[in-house]
Structure 1
Amino acid sequence: MALQWFPGHMHKALKEIKESLGQVDILIEVLDARIPYSSENPEIAKIRGDKPCIKILNKYDLADPAITADWQAYLESERNVKTITTSSDNPANSKQIINLIRQICAQKDASAKHIHAMITGIPNVGKSTLINILAERTIAKTGNEPAVTKSQQRINLGSGIVLFDTPGVLWPKLENPHSIYRLASSGAVKNTAMEYDDVGFFAADYLIKAYPSRMQERYKLDELPASEIEFLESAARKRGAIMAGGRVNLHKICEVLLNELQSGKLGRVSLETPAMLEKEKLEMAEMAAAKVAAKAKRKQKFKEGSLTPDKKDRKEKRNEKREAQSQRMKKRRN
C-alpha cells in the first residue's frame, strides 16, 4: 500500500525525544487498545533501555476486552513495564495513572524533587485528550485528525509531577507488513494518505473471520460470504453503495466499513492478538533470513561474474599467463 508515512517534522520530533529522555524518570507510551503492537513505536523501545514505562491502552471502550486483557499480560511480561486501560468516556480511570507514576517512582516521590514523566504516542491515539484529563484543564489541542500536537512542551500536573508532552511520532520503516493496514484501519494515519479500497479489503478480510456473526448482523446479510470481496459486494447492495448501471461502488462501501470500525459502530473490536504477533514475528524472521541469503547469493554471483564456460576458460588462461609472467619477473630480480 502506498502511504506517506514519515514526514520530516516527525524525524525532528523523534530526535527531540531522544535528547530529552535522559531528563525523565518514567516513560508513558499511549497505545491504541485495538492495536497495541502496531501502535507501539519500536524507536521508543530502542532508546528507552531499562527506564520504567507505563503502557496505556487507550480507547479501551472500542477494543475487545478479552483480547485487551491478553495484551496486558503479554506487555507486562517485559521488564519494568506496567499497563493500564483508559478511555475518554471514563476519566476517573485515567486518573489512576498519577497513582501508578507515584508508585513506580516511589523513591523520587518521597524526595523534594519533581517526578519527570515523558508521554509519547503515535498520531490520533488520544494522547492529547488524556493529557487534558490528567491536568484537569485544556492544555493540549485535541482533534480527530492525526498529528495535532506539533512541538514538545512541559506541563506541571501538580502534586510534584511534571509531564513532557511530545508530538505524535511514527517511525521510518515498518517491519511488519500487516501493521500499516491495521494503523490505517484504526485511523492512525490521515485519510488523504491511504487508499480506502486497499485498507477496506484488509479490514473486511480480518473482520469476517474474527467477528463473523457481528458482521453478518451489522450489514443485515442472510449469510456471511467466505471472501472479503463477496462480503463487500453484498454489504454494498444492502447499503445502497451502487453506481450507474448497477455496479457495486467498492470505494464507497470500504469507506463506510472503515468509518464504522473507527467510530465503534461495529462494537468492541481488536485488530490483533498476542498469538497473531508471535506468528508474524516468525514470518518476519524467515523473510529477513531469506533476504540475507538472497543478498549473499547476489554478492557471490557478482564476485564470480556471470561467465559462460568459454569466457571462464579464457579468464583462467589469462590468470595463468599473469601468474607465469609474475614468476619470471621474480626470477630476474633474484
Structure 2
Amino acid sequence: AFKQIASILLVADAKNMKRSLAIALQYAEYNIPMLIDINMIDEADARGIKINFEKLSEILGVDICSSIAPEGIGVRKLLAKLKSPHIAKKLVTYPEWINNFIDIIKKLCRDTDISPRVIGLLLLAGDRSIEEYLAQKFGPELVDELKDLAADYRKEDTETFRALLVNLYNKKADQIVKEIQEVEPPRRNPHLVTFGDWCTQLHTGVPIAIAVLILVYLFVGSFGATFLVDTINGVIFEGYLIPWTAKLLAPIPSPFFRDMFIDPDFGILPTGIFLALGLVMPVLFCFYLVFGILESSGYLPRLSILLDKVFRKMGL
C-alpha cells in the first residue's frame, strides 16, 4: 500500500555521486519535496574529488548540504534545511512511446495521490504495489486494461524495461557528474607509491609480509603480552591496587569475605577484574592498534592482492 510521504532526505556518497544522483533522479519523479545531503566529503577530498554544490543545487532545483557525519560537521545546517525541502526538477527524458503511455494514464487515472507519470512508469515496470493501489481506487477491470495496454506499449518483458530505466537514470546522472565534479589526482609520495607496488609483487611482497608479521608478533606478543602485562600487574595491581584493597577490606572480621574479594588464587578482584584488565586488555589494545595502522595505511588490501597471487601459484 502507498502511504503519503511528507519529504525525502537523500544521503549521498561524495565518493560515488553518479549512483546517488541516479537515485535522486528517480525520486524526483514522485513530486515529493527532497533534500540532498552529500556525506563523507572528507574522504572524497582525500581522493581529490571536488564537488560544486551550488551548481548541483541549481541543476536539481533542491537544496544541497554537505556533511561529515561521524564528526557532526554540517548536521545543524542539514536539520535547518530539512524544514523546507523543495520538489526536484524532472531531468530525465524518456522515449516517445513512454511519454505516450503516460499521457493515456493522465486521462484514465485522475485525482490520485501519486503522479500519473510515476503510475505510468511503475505499470510499465510491472510493479505489483501500484496495481493493488489502482485496483482499490478504480477497480480491477481498469487495472487489467492498463496492464494489457502497458504490455502493448512495452513490447518486451518488465526486466528489459527496468534495465532501460536504470540506463536512462545512470546516463543522466553521469552527465550531471561531469558538470559538477572535478577529480584532481591526490598528491602522493613517490617513495610510498613504489613501496606499495613492492608489497604486491611476489619477489618483494613475501619478504615484506614476513617482516610485517614478525613486527606484529613482537609488538603484540612481546611488548603487549609480556612487557605491558608484567608492568600493569607488577606495578599497578600488585604495587598499588591490591594492597589498597587489602587495607580497605581489613576491617571486615570474616576471613571468608576478605578472601572472596582479594584471595590471589580465587578472589573476585585478582582473578576477575584485575585479570581481565591486566592480562586481556593490553593484548587486545596492542592488536587492534596494529590492525588499525595496517588498515589505515592501505597495507591490508595490498596483502590480499599478494596472497591471491601466492594462491594462484599454488593452483588455488
Q: Do these two structures clear the TM 0.5 threshold for a shared fold by scoring above it?
A: no
Q: Which protein has the larger Cα radius of gyration, Structure 1 or Structure 2?
A: 2
User: Which structure's residues are more often helix, by fraction?
Assistant: 2
TM-score, normalising length: structure 1: 0.29
TM-score, normalising length: structure 2: 0.30
